[in-house]
Chains A and B, each alone.
Chain A
Amino acid sequence: MSKMHIKFTLNGQEVEGLAEPRMLLIHFLRETLKVTGPHIGCETSHCGACTVDVDGKSVKSCTLFACQADGAEITTVEGLVNSDGTLGVLQEMFREHHGLQCGFCTPGMITRAHRLLQENPTPTEEEVRFGISGNLCRCTGYQNIVKAILAAAGQLNSHKEAAE
């Protein structure tokens, strides 16, 4: 199969590369572009470790061909760091509240939480649990992940209030 030329915006920058049409976005990110934050945990669309943000949607990048993302705007966990290189609020709160152990689910989890808080800045605990139910974690039992996301929501909201 001849390769296609694929181009999209990744974490604010234009990137491009060649890929067979059948190449999955997760492999294109990890192997062609060497962006290894998103992980592979199941390959069957169940675990969410590969979650990236595509045009404002949380997407399991193991279930999307790279060519389908041609022209899209993509954010991965690498793109959620502050512009000065410090940890973003969600990242900081995951650390603060021990929302990770082995760290393998973390990039997908944080990327998903990012979109969740964009859509619902003041979620209840139940909404957080429902909102991250596409992401599996084998280490934490979720309790501290949920705590971290709620804390991040609180911080983001107080930042917003302060700015207003």
Chain B
Amino acid sequence: MIPAGFEYHRPADLASAVGILRAHGDEARVVAGGHSLIPMMKLRMAELGHLIDLQAIGELKGIEIDEGRVTLGAMTTQHELIAHEGLARAIPLLREAALQIADPQVRYMGTVGGNVANGDPGNDMPGLMQCLDARFELYGAEGTRQVAAREFYEAAYFTARADDEILTRILLPIPPAGTGYAYAKQKRKIGDYATAAAAVLIGEGLSSVAMTNLSDTPVWSEEAGTALAGGDIEGCVEAMLAAIDPQEDMRGPIAFKRHVAAVILRRAIDSALSRRA
């Protein structure tokens, strides 16, 4: 459980960070909260020559709430996100989900940017971001670009982000007032990743459903959302079941996961409907 050696960098701005990334190619990795990366390094499953710590980069911090839009700096921790009252009013789904991630210590360190950039199918934020139709802002040598969360995930640990890009901000449309929301997650204990988790929004002209840890990427299903918008809950569940592809692990066999996926999704829908104004 001892990582291999590396060199440590703590740049003060984005441009320097990207400079170091470019200089060292795939030898270099950024670290945000480190609570996905450092465990991998300790298992020597991620070996790298240069570690670029993003903690000193002011541009990556902060939560802004404007007309109709929330902007989360990539280095916002889950703890900060939970503690922010304005954010909880604007998009309560975020707090509800973040409280179901990991444990208190991990939430103090784990960042929203790290969670969505990581590409681990177990992470909760990617599905959540897809449900909310977030956009990720990436900064690289060629400048800044945005990618929709719904188009970001390619396979486990493969995303649309280029190796020398840094995820800087997450842009989220604020759902219309009165939108019902819920994040439901089944896990074995606190600190565990999801057996199945569902993010649901139901509102005026907006119905969106995404699920976590049931495929090698998060699963957002347009069909499921459409069915839900039409009040067809079982159609929504069916569409989702057609879209997921869970694997057996210690949480259980595939048949169990498919069953639980449907139950958790219905649970989230019920809860979202009950909150819909």
Q: Which residues of A contact B (CB under 8 A)?
A: 1, 4, 20-22, 43-46, 48, 51, 57-60, 63-65, 67-68, 70, 112, 116, 130-134
Q: How far is B105's CA from A58's CA once the two chains are assembled, in angstroms?
A: 5
Q: Could you list some 19 contacts between A and B, CB below 8 A? A: A21-B51, A22-B5, A45-B35, A45-B38, A45-B39, A59-B109, A60-B105, A60-B109, A63-B34, A63-B35, A63-B109, A68-B55, A112-B105, A131-B104, A133-B190, A133-B191, A134-B102, A134-B104, A134-B191
Q: How far is the CB of B34 from chain A (nearest CB, A)?
A: 6
Known contacts A48-B105, A134-B106; A21/B39 CB under 8 A: no
For B15-52 the 0/1 string (1 means CB < 8 A from A) is: 00000000000000001001100110110000000010
A20 touches B5 (CB 8 A): yes
7 more contacts with CB within 8 A, not counting A22-B3, A63-B39, A133-B190, are: A45-B106, A57-B108, A67-B10, A68-B55, A130-B104, A130-B190, A133-B104
B6 touches A58 (CB 8 A): no
Smallest Cβ-Cβ distance to B99: which chain A residue: A130
Confirm or deny: B103 has a beta carbon within 8 angstroms of a beta carbon on chain A.
yes
Q: How far is B8's CA from A67's CA once the two chains are assembled, in angstroms?
A: 8
A43 touches B109 (CB 8 A): no
A64 touches B34 (CB 8 A): yes
For B91-128 the 0/1 string (1 means CB < 8 A from A) is: 00000000000111110110000000000000000000
B191 touches A46 (CB 8 A): yes
Q: Which residues of B contact A (CB under 8 A)?
A: 1-8, 10, 31, 34-35, 38-39, 41-42, 51, 53, 55, 79, 102-106, 108-109, 190-191
B103 touches A22 (CB 8 A): no
> With a CB–CB cut-off of 8 A, which chain A residues contact B39?
44-45, 63
Q: How far is B53's CA from A58's CA once the two chains are assembled, in angstroms?
A: 19
Q: How far is B8's CA from A68's CA once the two chains are assembled, in angstroms?
A: 9
B34 touches A68 (CB 8 A): yes
> With a CB–CB cut-off of 8 A, which chain A residues contact B55?
68
A57 touches B42 (CB 8 A): no
Q: Rank and list the top 5 A-B pairs by shortest CB-CB distance, nearest first.
A: A134-B103, A21-B8, A1-B5, A57-B108, A43-B1
A57 touches B79 (CB 8 A): yes
B103 touches A133 (CB 8 A): yes
Smallest Cβ-Cβ distance to A4: which chain B residue: B8
Known contacts A45-B35, A63-B39, A65-B38; A134/B6 CB under 8 A: no
> With a CB–CB cut-off of 8 A, which chain B residues contact A70?
10
B8 touches A51 (CB 8 A): no
Q: How far is the CB of A135 from chain B (nearest CB, A)?
A: 8
Q: How far is B3's CA from A47's CA once the two chains are assembled, in angstroms?
A: 19
Q: How far is the CB of B189 from chain A (nearest CB, A)?
A: 9
Q: How far is B191's CA from A20's CA once the two chains are assembled, in angstroms?
A: 30
A112 touches B109 (CB 8 A): no
Smallest Cβ-Cβ distance to B83: which chain A residue: A119
B106 touches A60 (CB 8 A): yes
